[in-house]
Amino acid sequence: MPDRNTTIKVGALMLIAGGVIGAGVALLFAPQSGKATRKDISRYARKVRRRAEDVVDDFSDTISRMVETVGEKSADILDRGTDLAHDVKKEILKTIEDGQEKLEKQRARLARFLG
């Protein structure tokens, strides 16, 4: 299936490239002076450049927001991890203390039994 998707993408790109080349040839063979044609090409190039800059700015803003969001989420996760680690430490200490109490009871019981 990936081959079909690649073929479709290549076909679409070739269609777009053909359209751009065709538009360029049409401008060059248009019934107007070379000066007017060059002016049209220059105007079109500026228009395309502005659109490309807008797209790049939008993309850059989107990426910046995404990075900011990932940073915030990472900080939240780290905070939760720190809280969890603290809670786990408390739980481990409580378990150790409970274990020590049980060991002490068993030691006392064994001492009474032997002694």
Q: Where are the domains of the chain?
A: 32-114
**Predicted pLDDT at 115:** 60
Tokens linked to 54: 């807008």
The lowest-confidence range among 21-25, 33-37, 95-99 is 33-37
CA 5-6-10 angle, to 5 degrees, is 120
Confidence of residue 2 (pLDDT cuts 50, 70, 90): low
**Predicted pLDDT at 51:** 86
Round to whole Å and give the CA distance between 10 and 51. Answer: 23
**Predicted pLDDT at 22:** 85
What 3 state SS string does 57-113 have? HHHHHHHHHHHHHHHHHHHHHHHHHHHHHHHHHHHHHHHHHHHHHHHHHHHHHHHHH
- 27 Cβ contact partners less than 8 Å away, ≥ 6 residues apart: 37, 40, 41
Confidence of residue 109 (pLDDT cuts 50, 70, 90): confident
Model pLDDT for residues 51-103, shown as the tens digit of each residue? 888 888 888 888 888 888 888 888 887 777 777 777 778 888 888 888 888 88
State the pTM of this model: 0.42
Confidence of residue 20 (pLDDT cuts 50, 70, 90): confident
